[in-house]
Structure 1
Amino acid sequence: MSLTELSGTTTPEPAAAGDAPSRPSRRAAPLGALLLRLHFYAGVLVAPFLVVAALTGLAYTTTPQLDNMFYGDQLTVAQVGERPLPLAEQIGAARNAHPDGSITAVQPGDGDHTTKVVFSQPELGDKQHTVYIDPYTAESQGQLTTWFGSTPAATWLDDLHRHLHLGTVGEHYSELAASWLWVLALGGVILWWRRRSAARATARHLLVPDLSAGKGVRRTRGWHATTGIWLAAGLLFLSATGLTWSRYAGANFSAGLDALDARTPVISTSLAAVPAGTDGGNHHHGDAGAGGLVESAAFDRVLTVARDAGLSGPVEIAPATAPGSAWTVTQTDNTWPIAKDRVAVDPATNTITDRSDFTDWPLLAKLSGLGVQAHMGLLFGLANQILLAALALGLLCVIVWGYRMWWQRRPTRGDRRALAGTPPARGVLRGLPLWALLIGVPVTAAIGWALPLFGLTLLAFLVIDVVVGAWSRRRGSAAAPTSPAPAGN
């Protein structure tokens, strides 16, 4: 969250332009000094990754508006009719517009939304072709290459935010940013609280910058710290939810859900009574034309069964993926209160063979699902987008103020000029009490194991710091003047 000290410093602050002469600060307690040093170096080194994550995340918050701007003709209809036509007729129109591939999903249109008929083809990999059909006229309104329902613009921005279009290598940047964001946010809160507590400030002074401070590092620090306090809860949330689908920490999170039996329940699509070699009612590969329309009638039957079972709102119908399997119908409403109920349907008998309701999911599975939707700006609609945009802009301001403090604290005297301020003094580990080491080392190791990129970069920080410290001491010893020899020797 920040890039320089927010608590008592270990060295006097040099005077900066616009500041009144400063008094040497008292030496911080060992734990505070350690947190200050970690906060400073982690902020300086991780802030560029956070800037990229904030900028790309800010861009991603605009995807609903971009979709309407670029793809409004495909996503919505010009005129809402009295009632939608049968899905069989709409699917036939989609097959005429896109004769290649197999239908993997259909999302019936309602209101001013078009019906989405999704076709898979081997050459597309994990992407699909989606044909958009006017549900009231069965006319095709075009097709797009989509990724799990996302439009090309949303897919491009999602790839940019997650891995900068660099594939697996790029995923490391976003995981590194999320791994350190919670450390910087929580550490900044603690450091600012320590500083204000030492000054016996009220709660108001924790949340409002001291505008009476003169121009310079103190005023910048006030804006930096109080803004960070306001953002802290949101930044912690973004860090936690971002880590759940990261490469390494996300894998550990998934393993933890498995160990706790807290995964999203799997719905069974097995139809034991269907003999091998039959298609179990899976007719979605039929040809276009009249025969295709008759075979596609299974979609209408399955949808009717799901509606009768209480699955209201937008849904997605997925045909059976193999002989002897049921079809699935899933609610796809991601806005609060979300609807995620699912049923498995045997289209030959029009019966439900299995069901999974969101209310029955394990608590961690519910929280994980809600967190992902909120992180993507979907859970609360426009308010969610505005909140995410505010967090991204606030984080950028905090980072800029942090770097500005670093520059403002630079020595300006003729014999001590430097490009940036002096970092907090080293050697804080030696001053820690034994109990802090006995507790802190195992806890840090456990966090480093759960968040591998955090652990590896923290270890790298420590190694580099030790090497630089040894080199500085050696250089200082070599530069120290020696006493002149007595005369006559």
Structure 2
Amino acid sequence: MTVNADPPRESEPETSTVTAVVEPPPVEPARMKVPMRPARWALLRRLHFYAGVFVAPFLFVAALTGLAYTLAPQLNQIVHGHELSVDEVGDTTVPLAEQVAAAREAHPDGTLATVSVFDDPEATTQIAFSVPELAAESKVHTVYVDPYTGEVRGQLTTWFTATPLQTWLDGFHRSLHLGDVGRMYSELAASWLWVISLGGLALWIGRKRAYRGERAARRRAVLPDLTARGVRRTRGWHASIGVWIIVGLLFLSATGLTWSQYAGARFDAALDAVQGSAPALNTALGESAAPAEGGGHHDAGAPAEPRENDLPAGKPLEEIIAAGPMGGRIDVTIPADADTAYRVAQDKGQWPASFDQVAVDPTTGEVTQRVDYADWPFLAKLSKLGIRAHMGELFCVVNQILLAALALGLLSVLIWGYRMWWQRRPTRSDRRAVLGSAPPRGGWRTLPRWFLLVGAPVTLFVAWAMPLLGVTLGAFLLFDLLVGAFRWALRTPTPRLSD
């Protein structure tokens, strides 16, 4: 259409025909396509696809078992409430020596290892005995005593202070009760979780670049488009929920790797190299050197060595405990011999957390050494708090709710991801398939040289720091090469048409 932009002349009558100026309809920003850089995004899409298909089952199991573990405190009270809690809170408590004697009468075998008292008035006193047949599993026999009456409430085989139910749920989440081989499943899930999460976020942001300038469209990056249908609707839910929970997923990945089998060893070595580990408490009296104390998932020390008497002569346990930190659970490790001090360790896993420790001379009751949590290196504090938050202890019920929401969100994202794979399958009669195909191959060939020069060393370093990630990434690359070679071998040359 021709548009007359000149004004009408004065000599022309007002009735002269003037072509109307018609403004073109505005183009909706939501439909303006902004092309993504093909090489990098094609490579990222293919990696995200392979990781989603092959690693998602491990993530699904980890999220499901983690969801079960978030209920451990409540299930503990249901199953082991008789041992863990008293029937009635009294005004005075029985001396700890008498409680130990009652526990010894109920459990005549083994060596007294630890006595644990709580600041919760409804909690029982836990008195642990080490026995040789459980030493390899770091387990003990724990006798539960009512501190107000001295009555023995029960006896359980525990992993440090964790009940059998909590130990089972913890082992199910970490290793599926398959030993060291089973631990690889959770480490594989934690190693790939951050890669899949960040890769998916980058792909989603790249897709939403087309909506710049439109507030309603920008909201689609964090809210699903309910007007969409089919695979677009599923992708909207998959990506939007992923955006909401990505910070939590990155946190679970990082904290899960800190005490994994292979990546955890690399992490511990790095902490030692930068002097970021928690300092060990020296419980030796005199000139003797104390061995380094073990940690573990619940960060408790190893049981004491056998000794003839349950309690050494000297100050009563009440005075030993009073010389140490207060608040939370207090674990008193009984000295194995006359050259060893009591180890009084605080375990206050709720915020504000505290894990102070002192060594107390049994004879004089004097503190021979102390290690305050406030003096720990920053990385040691961060690691400790991260693990406790991962276990759902740092913020009590709120922490449990957040972890349960993360687990449910991850399960939903994984299900929607597989649904997208199924929805993208070819449905034409001549190309019908059960599942959708992978994104196109060969994106890495068109990457700029500088990207390869920077990306290759970074990838090798990450593969070294997280061995299971490196091994599986190499397996994905090998699988992709084999698939490409197989398809190339099956290709038939297209006949050339004669002139």
- TM-score class normalised by the smaller sequence: 0.7 to 0.9
Among candidates 185, 202, 208, match of residue 196 of structure 1? 208
C-alpha deviation, 1:32, in angstroms: 1.4
Is residue 2:375 matched to residue 1:360? yes
Is residue 2:80 matched to residue 1:66? no
Output the amino acid matched with 1:153: L
1:322-471 aligned at under 5 Å gives the runs 322-471=337-486
Is residue 2:181 matched to residue 1:169? yes
Per-residue CA deviation, residues 20-69 of structure 1 (Å, 9 max, x unaligned), is xx999967521111111111111111000001101111111111011100
Separation in structure 2 between the aligned mates of residue 474 and residue 28 of structure 1, nearest angstrom: 30
When residues 284 and 121 of structure 1 are mapped into structure 2, their CA distance, relative to the original with a 3 A threshold, is closer
Task: Tell me what 1:277 maps to.
Answer: none
Separation in structure 2 between the aligned mates of residue 219 and residue 424 of structure 1, nearest angstrom: 19
Task: Tell me what 1:4 maps to.
Answer: none
1:83-232 aligned at under 5 Å gives the runs 83-110=92-119, 111-125=121-135, 126-200=138-212, 202=215, 203-213=218-228, 215-232=229-246
Separation in structure 1 between the aligned mates of residue 123 and residue 483 of structure 2, nearest angstrom: 61
Separation in structure 2 between the aligned mates of residue 134 and residue 379 of structure 1, nearest angstrom: 27
Among candidates 296, 299, 322, match of residue 304 of structure 1? 322
List runs of 5+ in structure 1 lacking aligned partners.
1-21, 275-281
Task: Tell me what 1:16 maps to.
Answer: none
Q: Determine which structure has more spread, i.e. the larger CA radius of gyration.
A: 2
Separation in structure 1 between the aligned mates of residue 315 and residue 134 of structure 2, nearest angstrom: 27
Q: Is the 8 A contact 1:91 1:296 kept in 2?
A: no
Per-residue CA deviation, residues 163-219 of structure 1 (Å, 9 max, x unaligned), is 111101101101000000000011111111111113325442211111121x20001
C-alpha deviation, 1:420, in angstroms: 1.1
Task: Tell me what 1:5 maps to.
Answer: none
Q: Is the 8 A contact 1:87 1:296 kept in 2?
A: no
Q: TM-score, normalised by structure 2?
A: 0.86
C-alpha deviation, 1:82, in angstroms: 0.7
Separation in structure 1 between the aligned mates of residue 265 and residue 144 of structure 2, nearest angstrom: 36
Separation in structure 2 between the aligned mates of residue 286 and residue 90 of structure 1, nearest angstrom: 18
When residues 44 and 283 of structure 1 are mapped into structure 2, their CA distance, relative to the original with a 3 A threshold, is closer
Where 2:323 maps in the other structure, the secondary structure is helix
C-alpha deviation, 1:324, in angstroms: 1.3
Output the amino acid matched with 1:197: R
Per-residue CA deviation, residues 81-116 of structure 1 (Å, 9 max, x unaligned), is 012221111111111111111111101245000000
Task: Tell me what 2:283 maps to.
Answer: 269
**Aligned residue pairs: how many?**
448
Separation in structure 2 between the aligned mates of residue 180 and residue 296 of structure 1, nearest angstrom: 54
Among candidates 253, 257, 260, match of residue 246 of structure 1? 260
Q: Is the 8 A contact 1:87 1:108 kept in 2?
A: no
Output the amino acid matched with 2:144: Y
Q: Is the 8 A contact 2:358 2:371 kept in 1?
A: yes
List runs of 5+ in structure 2 lacking aligned partners.
1-30, 289-303
Q: Is the 8 A contact 2:139 2:158 kept in 1?
A: yes
Separation in structure 1 between the aligned mates of residue 308 and residue 398 of structure 2, nearest angstrom: 44
When residues 296 and 284 of structure 1 are mapped into structure 2, their CA distance, relative to the original with a 3 A threshold, is farther
Output the amino acid matched with 1:113: A
RMSD: 2.3
C-alpha deviation, 1:301, in angstroms: 3.0
Where 1:174 maps in the other structure, the secondary structure is helix
My pick for the range that moved more, 311-320 or 218-227, is 311-320
Separation in structure 2 between the aligned mates of residue 127 and residue 283 of structure 1, nearest angstrom: 14
